[in-house]
């Protein structure tokens, strides 16, 4: 029997206030943050040094530098890999904008490659055709916490003498073939933004096992100086640099959350697995999958709607928003994460990053084609997806997961009420 949807005047399924906020805060957080607040150094202080050491040990890296954002860490990766004016860097056509704008920040040119629809990550089958004599590196984004196909990407990079940068901003603790992301490529970036699995409010981390890359990244991180410790710092600028350092307060919060991260990830893997089981017979849903060798961290549970089966393929994106509106009316906390594929964004279509056509018209650059028709899988994903984070994380529990599944079932089994 049809059940009247809340958006059509029916009873809301999930009570307001059901979903608890992220991240959980306890005495560990309060103790470390208050000690920092009452300490003598609120800039780059002792918690920053400790956070770098503890995160490197947790992830399995030799070196780490804590930054003020994941975007800053990505920029540091570009510099560590010697990407400069006119160099090309391969980037998946669907990701957060920083995965591509970090390339521009050092006068390099992003070259987009379509994604594999099932995994939502860069399609290894399409990488080699994008490589030119200008290609310097590949950015492997582990989107929504699912690792990219790192064995194939590393093999392609080795064949063409390219560097591999891991954009692990969403992927703390995710594993490929048993190895944590951020330990496979030449260097990697993590984010500690509010919604990340490791939240420090804001912040990020650059990691590598190369001492040479460490020093190059560190120079960019601190004004272009090569000596950065306060005791020996000479304040001499040797190259172009930014101020990307983290603060002691953020690092203190990050250290406290790092102590609990393994428990967070274990629950997220359990909750996402449970939700998949609950939704497997719900109509018109394309549920997330994990390819062989890939272990997700459960960062963002991403569903695609089968708009073709609904007969709504021609206005897929518009109808997808109507479904999400109905889900939200029932109390399901879900939404569209990224509304545009990267090459469709104005900055790339106009090829005018920071005036006078740069970096595309800078010396040593060559023509790059950003016709959006080249990226059909990225566009299909973009038009049909919805994502969920907070309901599947602590301090919520599996009862919350069941409610989310009930909400999806109610809407999808009464889809004609939306049509």
**Which pLDDT does position 313 carry in this prediction?**
85
Return the percent helix, strand and coil in the chain, to nearest 5. 40, 15, 45
Contact 246, 203 (CB under 8 A): yes
User: Which CATH class, in words, describes the domain spanning 6-20+261-338+379-417?
Assistant: alpha beta
**How do residues 279-312 score in pLDDT, each as one tens digit?**
999 999 999 999 999 999 999 999 999 999 999 8
Q: Which residue has the tokens 């420090």?
A: 200
pLDDT tens digits for 336-345? 999 999 999 9
257: Cα within 13 Å, side-chain hemisphere: 26
- Per DSSP, which regions of 289-358 are E strands? 294-295, 301-305
* pLDDT at site 233: 66
Q: What is the mean pLDDT of the chain?
A: 95
What top-level class would CATH report for the domain 27-260?
alpha beta
pLDDT score of 244:
93
Ranges 111-115, 150-154, 349-353, 377-381: which has the least confidence: 349-353
Q: Is 273 in contact with 72 (CB distance < 8 Å)?
A: no
Residue extents of the structural domains in the chain: 6-20+261-338+379-417, 27-260
Residue pLDDT, tens place only, 170-227 = 999 999 999 999 999 999 999 999 999 999 999 999 999 999 999 999 999 986 666 5
Taking residues 119-128, what's their average pLDDT? 98
DSSP reduced 3-state for 63 = strand
> For residue 246, what are the contacts with CB-CB under 8 A and spacing of at least 6?
44, 48, 51, 66, 67, 68, 203, 204
- How many angstroms separate the CA atoms of 359 and 293, rounded? 37
Tens digits of residue pLDDT in 39-94: 999 999 999 999 999 999 999 999 999 999 999 999 999 999 999 999 999 999 99
User: How many Å is the Cα radius of gyration of the chain?
Assistant: 22
Q: Quick check: 74 and 317 in contact, CB under 8 A? A: no
d(CA 298, CA 391): 11
Beta bridge partners of 115: 122
What's the confidence (pLDDT) of residue 227?
Answer: 57
Tokens of residue 35, six digits: 């000690």
Rounded distance, CA 265 to CA 330, Å?
27
Task: Name the CA dihedral angle for 192, 117, 114, 377, rounded to a multiple of 10 degrees.
Answer: -120
Q: How far apart are CA 91 and CA 109, in angstroms?
A: 10
What is the pTM (predicted TM-score) of this model? 0.95
Strand pairing partners for 208?
A: 63, 187
């Amino acid at each position: 029997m049809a059940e009247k949807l809340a958006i059509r005047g029916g009873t809301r399924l999930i009570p307001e206030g059901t979903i608890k906020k992220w991240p959980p805060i306890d005495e560990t957080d309060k103790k470390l943050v208050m000690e920092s607040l009452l300490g003598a150094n609120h800039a780059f202080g002792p918690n920053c040094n400790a956070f770098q050491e503890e995160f490197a040990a947790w992830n399995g890296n030799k070196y780490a530098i804590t930054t003020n954002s994941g975007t800053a860490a990505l920029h540091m990766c570009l510099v560590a890999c010697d990407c400069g004016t006119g160099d090309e860097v391969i980037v998946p056509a669907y990701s957060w904008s920083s995965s591509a704008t970090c390339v521009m920040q050092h006068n390099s040119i992003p070259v987009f490659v379509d994604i594999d629809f099932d995994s939502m990550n860069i399609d290894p089958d399409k990488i080699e055709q994008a490589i030119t004599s200008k290609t310097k590196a590949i950015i492997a984004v582990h989107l929504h916490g699912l690792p990219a196909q790192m064995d194939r990407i590393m093999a392609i990079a080795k064949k063409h003498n390219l560097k591999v940068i891991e954009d692990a901003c969403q992927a703390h603790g995710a594993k490929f073939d048993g190895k944590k992301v951020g330990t496979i490529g030449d260097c990697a970036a993590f984010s500690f933004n509010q919604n990340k699995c490791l939240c420090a409010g804001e912040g990020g981390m650059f990691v590598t096992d190369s001492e040479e890359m460490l020093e190059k990244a560190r120079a960019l991180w601190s004004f272009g100086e090569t000596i950065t410790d306060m005791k020996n710092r000479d304040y001499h600028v040797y190259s172009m640099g930014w101020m990307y350092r983290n603060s002691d307060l953020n690092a203190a919060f990050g250290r406290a959350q790092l102590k609990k991260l393994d428990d967070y990830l274990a629950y997220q893997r359990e909750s996402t697995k449970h939700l998949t089981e609950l939704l497997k017979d719900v109509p018109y849903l394309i549920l997330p999958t994990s390819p062989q060798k890939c272990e997700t961290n459960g960062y963002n549970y991403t569903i695609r709607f089968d708009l073709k089966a609904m007969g709504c393929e021609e206005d897929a994106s518009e109808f997808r928003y109507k479904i999400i509106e109905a889900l939200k009316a029932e109390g399901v906390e879900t939404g569209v994460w990224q509304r545009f594929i990267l090459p469709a964004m104005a900055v790339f279509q106009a090829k005018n990053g920071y005036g006078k056509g740069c970096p595309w018209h800078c010396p040593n650059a060559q023509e790059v084609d950003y016709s959006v028709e080249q990226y059909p899988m990225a566009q299909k994903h973009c038009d049909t997806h919805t994502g969920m984070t907070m309901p599947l994380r602590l301090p919520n529990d599996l009862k919350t997961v069941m409610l989310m599944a009930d909400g999806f079932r109610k809407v999808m089994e009464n889809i004609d009420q939306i049509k």
